[in-house]
Amino acid sequence: MRNTEAAGTTGVVLAAGYGARLGRGPKALLPYRGRPLVEAVAEALLGGGCREVVVVLGAGAQDVLAAARLDGCRTVVNEEWQSGMGSSLLLGNAATDPRDHLMIALVDQPGLSSLAVERLLASHRPGRVTAAAYDDGAAAADGGLRRGHPLVIDTSLRQAVAATVMGDAGARAFLRSHPELVDEVDCSDLSSGLDVDTPEQLYLLG
């Protein structure tokens, strides 16, 4: 295991998807409180304590770069974005300082706040994955929470997680195989944790 004493955290925003079901172009450019959604998500990561943010673009990358202000962020373009979220996660992982922990966030999660980012970073323990979790009613029926994003991948686990990533599953295979390494942090008081996949959900954006 690497020495993580001096490790910082780099935020990675997975923002390569097109959002075909929404029919509104790249998800990164969905309107949210008067600006592109990708701006709000990146700002939450920076404001919550990530020392750097890498935004992984894909569909309509040039349009996103022209329309969104991503001051303080680095951007990389996933030319294989149609292969699924996994390729974006791997690209983001490769583009960041290998000594850092990674905080993985989804661009289509408008409720993400800097307070949630702060809470996850404060709760993170060495050698573990720290994931936001939410009470969405259905999960509460059996006394549990629904695990979601963002999630913090410890620097010591990055290589192991990357080895399991494929298709559109992201880190899901690793999380299912190693539940003993995952700490869930309740963020229900800050957000529903829901992402935006349908036109109906788009109307809920503030």
Q: Report d(CA 206, CA 168) in Å as an integer.
A: 28
Model pLDDT for residues 32-51, shown as the tens digit of each residue? 888 899 999 999 999 999 99
Model pLDDT for residues 8-41, shown as the tens digit of each residue? 999 999 999 886 555 566 889 988 888 899 999 9
Does 85 have pLDDT greater than 50?
yes
